[in-house]
Structure 1
Amino acid sequence: MPTSAEWLVFLGTATLFAIMPGPGVFYVLARSLKGGRSEGIRSVIGNGIGACVHVVAAAFGLSAVLATSATAFTVVKLAGAAYLIYLGVKTLFGKDRHDIDQIRPTASSGGRRSVILQGVVSEVLNPKTALYFLALLPHFVHVDRDPAPLVFTLLGLIAVAMAVVVDVLVAIFAGYVGAKLRGNPRWQVRQRIGTGLTMIGLGGVLALAEQN
């Protein structure tokens, strides 16, 4: 386990990681403005699950492949970018939520699962998250004192939990703002366009990301 001083450094670094605006935060923001607080929370759950996948993969060395193989990094990066761009285009040219709600007032369980699954996939296909855990966590693991995978996983889950708390706050705030503006037909159009372009933009940023 980390020493007392290392815990302070780790928690400080994890806090910066949690509050720093990134693809995950902007994804939750776009989702919350579009579908309200509940959809935003579900996107947070999806992001959190996807981040946990990276933690487990990094703990057992799988993420090292992304750090050492340019081909593997590029494949995952482009797959993630393509998926975000697909979601953005789908949103951009889809119907307004107001129109959908008139036909189907309540969201189905399948729709709820879809939002969570999209969050999982978009986060799993973000190689930068994997490299973040791989670059940060080993500094606080002491193999001579504790099993490395166990400590790695524990620290990673703490970092994910801190990021989830921040994302939930973003979802609540953005959902509140979106609810206030959702009755405005012009806002419906602007919201759909803004959400679609945000996701496409995130896909573009991910596609241009370089392996550090």
Structure 2
Amino acid sequence: MHGTVSIYGFLAVGGMLAVTPGPNMIYVMSRSIAQGRTAGLISLAGVMLGYLFYMFGAAFGITAFFVSVPYAASVLGAGGAAYLFYLAWQAVKPGGRSPLEVRELPREQPRRLFAMGATTSLLNPKLAMIFLSLLPQFINYQDGSVLRQSLVLGSSLIVAFASVNGFVAVCSGSMAKFLSSRPGLLQAQRWTMGVVLVALGAHMTVDALKLAGIN
């Protein structure tokens, strides 16, 4: 890992992104609440296709990209930091809505649940930003094994996302009932997430400036 960024920083960023609500989590949560745990898990299986697509696409693309483009790590670092700041704003902005406030959905067959999960994941800009802008910041490009590092880190992210979304699929009904009557707890969670994401974004900005040679 380069600079001041360590595996602990990667795990912190990955963990925060895993628990940050996005299109995939909201889709899995919606299906779990509307049709039950089995529907949620089938939807998650479709979502996993998107994870794998972006991981392999990023892994093979990053290898060629960083060999040919000077200062690419700095540029991607700045983009990744900007994305973290965007997520922080989404977490704390006025009028923000909890992902647990889900409308009723029509029941769907397993095949369609899987296909909709895959489509939601493949069209998810959050995944593209994570694998193309954030993940490269934790790779040592002088190590000579960029592809291996990309696959290892990408697999770790997939495990984190799958674990969190699997938990969501199994527990969405209970969580919705518990949190819907505790708006203060939801508000505290949103602000805590926002503060942590800002801190991570600031740290990544400093690292990007250092890589660019700006002190």
Q: TM-score scaled to structure 1, two decimals? A: 0.57
Q: Could you tell me whether the CA contact under 8 Å between 1:28 and 1:171 is conserved in 2?
A: yes
Change (3 A) 1:36 1:2: farther
Residue 4 of structure 1 deviates from its aligned partner by 10
Q: Match for residue 180 of structure 2?
A: none
Instruction: Provide the rounded CA distance (Å) in 2 between the counterparts of 1:113 and 1:53.
Output: 19
Residue 146 of structure 1 deviates from its aligned partner by 3.9
Residue 113 of structure 1 deviates from its aligned partner by 2.9
Instruction: Provide the rounded CA distance (Å) in 1 between the counterparts of 2:125 and 2:58.
Output: 11
Q: Match for residue 122 of structure 2?
A: 124
Q: How does 1:4-83 map to 2 (within 5 A)?
A: 6-61=6-61
Partner SS state of residue 61, structure 1? helix
* Aligned sequence identity (%): 31
Partner SS state of residue 140, structure 2? coil
Instruction: Provide the rounded CA distance (Å) in 2 between the counterparts of 1:130 and 1:51.
Output: 9
Q: Could you tell me whether the CA contact under 8 Å between 1:58 and 1:133 is conserved in 2?
A: yes
Q: Match for residue 142 of structure 1?
A: 140
Instruction: Provide the rounded CA distance (Å) in 1 between the counterparts of 2:145 and 2:50.
Output: 24
- Structure 1: tracts of 5 or more residues without a match: 69-90, 98-106, 181-212
Kindly report the root-mean-square deviation, in angstroms, between the aligned alpha carbons of the 2 structures.
Answer: 3.1
Instruction: Provide the rounded CA distance (Å) in 2 between the counterparts of 1:21 and 1:126.
Output: 12
Give 1:167's match in structure 2, choosing from 165, 168, 179.
165
Q: Could you tell me whether the CA contact under 8 Å between 2:136 and 2:150 is conserved in 1?
A: yes
Change (3 A) 1:49 1:175: farther
Change (3 A) 1:4 1:45: farther
Residue 51 of structure 1 deviates from its aligned partner by 1.4
Residue 176 of structure 1 deviates from its aligned partner by 5.4
Residue 2 of structure 1 deviates from its aligned partner by 7.2
Residue 164 of structure 1 deviates from its aligned partner by 1.1
Q: Match for residue 156 of structure 1?
A: 154
Instruction: Provide the rounded CA distance (Å) in 2 between the counterparts of 1:47 and 1:29.
Output: 12
Deviation digits for residues 69-94 of structure 1, max 9, x if unmatched? Answer: xxxxxxxxxxxxxxxxxxxxxx86x5
Q: Give the total of aligned pairs.
A: 139
Runs of 4+ in 1 over 3 A off after TM superposition: 1-5, 175-178
Q: Could you tell me whether the CA contact under 8 Å between 2:22 and 2:126 is conserved in 1?
A: no
Task: Name whichever of 137-146 and 20-29 sits farther off.
Answer: 137-146
Partner SS state of residue 158, structure 2? helix
Partner SS state of residue 6, structure 2? helix
Residue 5 of structure 1 deviates from its aligned partner by 6.1
Q: Could you tell me whether the CA contact under 8 Å between 2:24 and 2:124 is conserved in 1?
A: no
Which letter maps to 1:32? S
Residue 144 of structure 1 deviates from its aligned partner by 2.5
Residue 47 of structure 1 deviates from its aligned partner by 1.3
- Structure 2: tracts of 5 or more residues without a match: 66-74, 77-103, 178-215
Change (3 A) 1:14 1:39: same
Q: TM-score scaled to structure 2, two decimals? A: 0.56
Instruction: Provide the rounded CA distance (Å) in 2 between the counterparts of 1:26 and 1:54.
Output: 19
